[in-house]
Structure 1
Amino acid sequence: MAHSQFDIFLQEATHFDQVSGSNLDRDRLYGLYTSWCFINQQAPGPESNFWAAMKHKVSLRHNGLRMKGPAAADYILSSYPRLS
């Protein structure tokens, strides 16, 4: 079964953490996706396609997701330039 770009993104850039009660809100999740696309030299799909795919893959309210990997580092450094 072929995995979509969105499935690979979730696998490589997020981690489900049911213990901490963490949650990636819409802005952070999409920002992480664009960072993941940048790191992997892939053009991000239209934002509407991203949200349509996420609707079937994760809850946008209480998803238990945490960032991980190079895309997380890129997103954090891009969001908070004083850290770099």
Structure 2
Amino acid sequence: MKGKLTLLAVLLLPWLSIVKVDKFVFKRYLPVLTFSSLVIAFISELSKSFTWWKVRKPLFPKLSSDFSFIFGPFFIANF
């Protein structure tokens, strides 16, 4: 339970800093941010079949990717 709460916090807390980003800048970079995050998510899903790495306690058990990191700090830090 504590691990899921931590992963949920990692997913949601970076989004609190998005209010400081200008609306024009957000709209301008959103397609690139979405594309890069989806590429990383795809690579992370491939890691399961190629056994590159394993996420031990994923936020969503059906997905093998580290969803909380990809769409949390990675997405926001790429602004």
TM-score (norm 1): 0.29
Greater C-alpha Rg: 2
Structure with the larger strand share: 1
